[in-house]
Structure 1
Amino acid sequence: MKRFILATALALGAAPAMAADEAVTYPFKGSFGDAAFAVENAIIGRGLVIDYVSHTGEMLNRTAADVGSEKKLFEEADIFLFCSAQVSRTVMEADPMNIAHCPYGIFVADQEGDVMIGYRTYPEGPMQEVQALLDEIVQEALK
């Protein structure tokens, strides 16, 4: 039992470090609104359609008290969800189970005035094409 508790504690202690490795973030010099506008334009500018914008920061702030928290994680945070028919077909022809990674998301977040743009990382192999696409879109938004 002690081994189980120790293993669980170690696993939980490692989770935040792993989470940091699972996202690529870039600082944005400007407001949250400007960053969100830049991301939206960079996605649409590639002929892609934004399927949904998740207002994650708003939801976390609205529900904090309901879940017993007083901690404010973000001033604002949105996630733009979209797909690319061309890239999705390529990665899913390589492995149909890559469907698990779709749709793709780019997030914009403001933590105490520090605005960032980012995306999750993807496994080695065909999904690196998606990661490259996301990075290109973010780089365009950062200009």
Structure 2
Amino acid sequence: MKRVSALLVVLMAAAPAFGQGITTYESDANFEDTAFAVESAIVGRGLVVDYVSHVGAMLARTGADVGSDVTLFEAADVFVFCSAVTSRSVIEADPVNIAYCPYGIFVADTAGTVTVGFRNYPEGAMQEVQSLLDGIVHEALGIR
């Protein structure tokens, strides 16, 4: 029993912990289809994806360099973009909100579970961004 408990602790420590300060949704589709759906939902709103950060590939490539053999993701990308309309609105409300721009939505495959998410934003004007990101993810995943 102690060996099983120890194994569970190791497995839990190796798995990424989504949720704290993050809004997440699980996808029924594979990583590639989910990433395509997220990018399409962003572009479909007239927004431009400035950069796709291939975080999963970077972590896999550099693991040995930092002394780790832990596989964190099968694949993981972050789509980085901004909205001129939304950004202007929230930054006019409080210029310090520039710190939150650009925005990012991640897609990550952890042992066959594909998760889509984004960081949570503070109450007030930044909830406009929270709603934008949530709407994009809902559209990409077909959530009504």
Which residue in 2 is equivalent to 1:66?
Answer: 65
How many angstroms does 1:45 deviate by? 0.3
The residue identity in structure 1 corresponding to 2:97 is N
Q: Which string of whole-angstrom CA distances, capped at 9 and with x for unpartnered residues, describes residues 62-85 of structure 1?
A: 000101111111000000000000
Which residue in 2 is equivalent to 1:123?
Answer: 122
CA distance in 1, matches of 2:87, 2:99: 11
- What SS is found at the alignment partner of 1:71? coil
Gaps of 5+ in 2: 1-15
Which residue in 2 is equivalent to 1:40?
Answer: 39
How many angstroms does 1:22 deviate by? 1.1
- What SS is found at the alignment partner of 2:23? strand
How many angstroms does 1:90 deviate by? 0.4
* Runs of 4+ more than 3 Å apart: none
CA distance in 1, matches of 2:136, 2:19: 21
CA distance in 2, matches of 1:41, 1:20: 24
Which residue in 1 is equivalent to 2:91?
Answer: 92
Which residue in 1 is equivalent to 2:111?
Answer: 112
CA distance in 2, matches of 1:71, 1:104: 28
How many angstroms does 1:46 deviate by? 0.2
- What SS is found at the alignment partner of 1:69? coil
TM-score (norm 2): 0.85
Gaps of 5+ in 1: 1-15
How many angstroms does 1:20 deviate by? 3.1
CA distance in 2, matches of 1:23, 1:62: 25
Which residue in 1 is equivalent to 2:74?
Answer: 75
CA distance in 2, matches of 1:106, 1:128: 15
The residue identity in structure 2 corresponding to 1:80 is F
CA distance in 2, matches of 1:65, 1:130: 37
CA distance in 2, matches of 1:124, 1:110: 30
How many angstroms does 1:49 deviate by? 0.3
- What SS is found at the alignment partner of 2:130? helix
Q: How many residues align?
A: 127
CA distance in 2, matches of 1:123, 1:31: 31
Same amino acid, percent of matched pairs: 65
CA distance in 2, matches of 1:64, 1:40: 27
CA distance in 2, matches of 1:52, 1:36: 13
